[in-house]
Amino acid sequence: MSKSRNLFFLSSLSLVFIFALAYNFADRNITKLPSEPRTVNAEYDFDLRIIAAANAANAPRQTGGPLGLGRKALDEEITAWDLDIAPDGTGLPVGSGSVSYGEEIFSEQCGACHGDFAEGVDRWPELAGGEGTLADDDPLKTVGSYWPYLSTAWDYIHRSMPFGYAQSLSDDDVYAMLAYILYSNDIIDDEDFVLSNENFLDVEMPNAEGFIIDDRDMTEYPVFSQDPCMEDCKVNVEVTMRARVLDVTPEDDGS
Ligand code: HEC
């Protein structure tokens, strides 16, 4: 009897020890999330979605169409989900944010993962640096070194950051954070700079010219979509070279 009690006591003790050890490990090694999401100024987006959902629930069903299912999306629903910002600035909301305010809220909301200077913590992504590394074996692709359009960064941050609290940022906060990211990348030197919807397109992204526009629908498609020639395609057929002479087969196997 006393033996099994001893055994019970010992195993509880070791369980407590293991839990304490695990807690200690987790506490030290898992990145802390910001304690409060910044929902203060972002009510507008949330309101839109609530209105849209309510309208959707009350909207009359339409029984037309081939299957008699569903209904057309309401304008409010489209507005609530239409978040994308185009490279020419289409979709950008009116707003602004300074480098200095951006620095403050960046270290609060983003620094735990991306570092206070956007240099990245541990394996979380770097958002600054990497200039001139794109042709290296191990290029560092950041907003500064790689992203061609500032609009993509605005859209991405507004839509999906901070990780775990997506869409909790106000429009002005996104402008401010982006101003700070530009400053961290030395794309903006002036620490009094204020980024807004008005000067947004004036910012020059270093890799803006680094992408090739996909023009295959103009250059390749017309060539490959012609009717193929099936007879009398060439007047004379002449063999100009032989593969053996050209020496196309590698000689050393495995090298
Ligand atoms: C909990 C950690 C965490 C926090 C906090 C966080 N991020 Fe991120 N961020 C990530 C991860 C992870 C990715 C990569 C996501 C992916 O590739 O799918 C990322 C990606 C990004 C990228 C794109 C990087 C690239 O080059 O692909 C930007 C820009 C960004 N975050 C900005 C922000 C901003 C601004 C904040 C603060 C509002 C923030 N993040 C807060 C984890 C975090």
**12-60 tens-digit pLDDT:** 888 888 888 777 766 666 655 555 544 444 555 666 677 777 777 777 7
- The predicted structure's pLDDT at residue 213: 87
Integer angstrom CA distances of residue 134 from 70, 120, 123, 144, 170: 48, 18, 19, 11, 33
* Atom 12 in ligand 1: residue holding the nearest Cα: 124
Q: Which atom of ligand 1 is nearest to the CA of 143?
A: 26
Q: Which atom of ligand 1 is nearest to the CA of 169?
A: 38
pLDDT digits (tens, 9 = 90+) for 62-78: 667 778 777 778 787 78
Instruction: Look up tokens 């941050």; give the residue.
Output: 157
- The predicted structure's pLDDT at residue 75: 82
- The predicted structure's pLDDT at residue 27: 63
CB 157 within 8 A of CB 178: yes
pLDDT digits (tens, 9 = 90+) for 173-208: 999 999 999 999 999 999 999 999 999 999 999 999
Across the range 155-167, mean pLDDT stands at 91
- CB of 42 closer than 6 A to ligand 1? no
253 pLDDT above the threshold of 80: no
Residue 179 dihedral angles phi and psi, to the nearest 5°: -60, -40
- Using the mean position of ligand 1's atoms as its centre, give its distance from the Cα of residue 25 in Å: 24
Residue 44 dihedral angles phi and psi, to the nearest 5°: -55, -50
Pick from 85, 157, 161, 168 the residue to mutate for probing ligand 1's pocket: most ligand atoms within 8 Å of its CB.
Answer: 161
As a whole number of angstroms, the distance between CA 9 and CA 6 comes to: 5
- The predicted structure's pLDDT at residue 41: 46
- The predicted structure's pLDDT at residue 45: 61
Residue type, 20: A
- Using the mean position of ligand 1's atoms as its centre, give its distance from the Cα of residue 32 in Å: 14
Q: Which atom of ligand 1 is nearest to the CA of 164?
A: 1
Integer angstrom CA distances of residue 4 from 10, 12, 18, 168: 10, 12, 21, 55
pLDDT digits (tens, 9 = 90+) for 82-97: 889 999 999 999 999 9
150 pLDDT above the threshold of 70: yes
Burial of 180 (0-12, 13-18, 19+ CB in 10 A): buried
As a whole number of angstroms, the distance between CA 133 and CA 144 comes to: 11
- CB of 128 closer than 6 A to ligand 1? no
Return the sign of the alpha-carbon dihedral for residues 59, 63, 65, 69. Answer: positive
